[in-house]
Amino acid sequence: MRGKVFLSVRSGAGGASASTITLPLAWAADTVPETVALITELHQMVSNGYELRDALARVQAPAVAVTNTPSSPSRWTSLVEKFQADLQITNGIKPKTWRDNYGPFLAFTVEQLGSTAPPVNARELLSHVAEKWQDYPRRREVAINAVSKFLD
């Protein structure tokens, strides 16, 4: 689009990976302070693991009043049920193992993924999981392992 600011972020060896977006700002001298502030905020979010487009959506959300539509919780629930069935077939896990080492953590995961502001990537989801069980180091480890397995 003419007259807009384009932002390209390159990463990886030799800048092999690139992501480009159009910022909602005019390419003009009087927008330089706003542009610098927005790029600085996007840089911070990308450094924290957000994809460039997700970071821009998050930054714009308050100003534009973008509302996230939640994922269908039933979709996530059915994926968890399939995951449980797969574990029973491939690993032979017992109902008690599921109940102790997977169930509560994946129930929390489904709750997070079906919320009005779901995590935008696996890193953010795992951060929520770690935060939930932060006072219980062993449970936190089990939770992160269970959710990581589910996401694989």
Q: What is the pLDDT of residues 95-124, one digit of tens each?
A: 999 999 999 999 999 988 888 888 888 888
Q: Specify the number of domains making up the chain.
A: 2
> 0.75 exceeded by the pTM?
no
Domain limits for position 80: 73-151
Q: What is the pLDDT of residues 50-77, one digit of tens each?
A: 788 888 888 877 544 444 444 555 688 8
For 79-83, the CB contacts below 8 A with 24+ separation are 79/150, 80/106, 80/107, 80/109, 80/110, 80/150, 83/149, 83/150
Q: Which of 37, 64, 91 delimits the end of a domain?
A: 64
102 and 147, same domain (yes or no): yes
Residues 6+ apart with CB under 8 A from 132: 108, 143
Our CA dihedral for 91, 96, 102, 106, rounded to 10 degrees, sits at 120
Q: Determine the Cα–Cα distance for residues 89 and 120; give it in Å rounded to an integer.
A: 31
